[in-house]
Structure 1
Amino acid sequence: MKTSPGICQKKRRFATREAADAAALAADVTLRTYKCALCHSYHLTSRTKGLRPPRGLG
């Protein structure tokens, strides 16, 4: 997923995929995790096409 610099700056950043997946699973809507090519952190998105589902905790 390609993220523009303006969007990247507005999104919450997660240091690990596990932390992002935990936030995605706790959300009230379906969210997916992806690694940002700009900041190299993980972000969440509501777009689901082509992205893998969040990993379960445990």
Structure 2
Amino acid sequence: MARTKLSFCRRKVQFSTENEALLRAQASGLVLRPYRCDRCGAFHLTSRTKGKRVPRPVA
């Protein structure tokens, strides 16, 4: 697994909990998913899905 680049981490919004990040992702109207940063330990949002399991939409 590749590490998050420190320059990316510093530019992104940090969330203290995964739930906080999920709420912000839902409010954005974009397809975003939270992840725990291996640099700062906080949660960030990403639109990248390559190599990640994407949950099925709830019907």
Q: TM-score, normalised by structure 2?
A: 0.79
Q: What RMSD in Å do the two structures reach over aligned CA positions?
A: 1.6
Where in structure 1 are there 5+ consecutive unaligned residues? 54-58
Higher relative contact order (CA 8 A, sep 6+): 1
Normalising by structure 1, what TM-score? Answer: 0.80
Which of structures 1 and 2 has the bigger CA Rg?
A: 2
1-structure distance, mates of 2:32, 2:21: 10
- In structure 1, C-alpha distance between the alignment counterparts of 2:19 and 2:30, rounded to whole Å: 18
Q: Percent of pairs identical after alignment?
A: 40
CA contact (8 A) 1:31 1:48 kept: no
Residue matched to 2:49: 48
**CA–CA separation in structure 2 for the residues paired with 1:17 and 1:3:** 17
Relative to structure 1, the CA distance from residue 51 to residue 37 in structure 2 (aligned partners, 3 Å threshold; closer, same or farther) is farther
Cα drift, residue 52 of structure 1: 5.0
